[in-house]
Structure 1
């Protein structure tokens, strides 16, 4: 069966080791594209109907509010099902010690029974936190493998790290 790289990523103003910097392509998207290229997997970007603000501080406040309210942001451009895939690489930035709430929406939309999920996240010091367990709790029936944490500020140089994980 086919492989899928499903990812949530955010461009615009981002945090890089103590500074804010504008980027055109999000760090998680860069890692997702590397994984897709190496594995031959299809790509699926998880996108909110109402995206967070381009300004970093406003985005953080919006994401924190969604986290505190356990919100499930509405998503756009999702496939009807994921039946064609048995192996899914799931990418996301670490928000509030977990995944962005939009990733929870994605995981709750589909039946992951019997599918293998390979989590990967970008971060600036938080690592995977407890996201592997969060995925196990949310994507019931899925086999969740050991994840990969990539420092977002070094993602452009992470190909060998990703290859080693794969």
Structure 2
């Protein structure tokens, strides 16, 4: 059993790639958050749906369930920023997730802004110790050597 669990949501593939890179570097287990209804891969179309869900107070149903985090020493948690905060599927996951008091190391990918992400994550994450947020803008995501070094540096700081 791995000592680290990586929990993530990916709508366009960026966070899927990051999660897999982190798993390869740490020998961690992966858990992908999956909504029942997939969002459009076009971020603007997805945002239109996400915005409507938020206005109506309806977070998406998830088909992925929830992992047992009690057997892990730490959790890496990542996903995209939608509208300055956590993507709706990640918010939905956090309503029921139990982090068993473990340290949670979050990352966020974003195109433009993520101003409320860290604050909202701290407010929504229950029973976990939120650590500093790793911000991954497009300038890092689209430069594989830079992304690889950023992830290596982040993991080194954890230990």
Range of TM-score over shorter length: 0.7 to 0.9
Q: Per-residue deviation at 1:32?
A: 1.3
- Provide TM-score, normalisation by structure 2: 0.84
More helix, by proportion:
2
8 Å contact from structure 1 (residues 81, 110) kept in 2: no
* Residue ranges of structure 1 left out of the alignment (5+ in a row): 12-25
- 2:132 aligns with 146
RMSD of aligned alpha carbons: 1.9
More strand, by proportion:
1
Q: Per-residue deviation at 1:153?
A: 5.4
* Residue ranges of structure 2 left out of the alignment (5+ in a row): none
- 2:152 aligns with 163
By relative contact order (CA 8 Å, sep 6+), the higher-ranking structure is: 1
Q: Per-residue deviation at 1:73?
A: 0.8
What is the CA deviation profile of residues 81-128 of structure 1, one whole-angstrom value per residue up to 9, with x for unaligned ones?
Answer: 32222311111111011011111121122222411111101112314x
Query: What are the within-5 Å matches in structure 2 for residues 119-138 of structure 1?
Result: 119-127=106-114, 129-138=115-124
Query: What are the within-5 Å matches in structure 2 for residues 2-151 of structure 1?
Result: 2-11=3-12, 26-79=13-66, 81-127=68-114, 129-151=115-137
Q: Count residues with an aligned counterpart.
A: 151
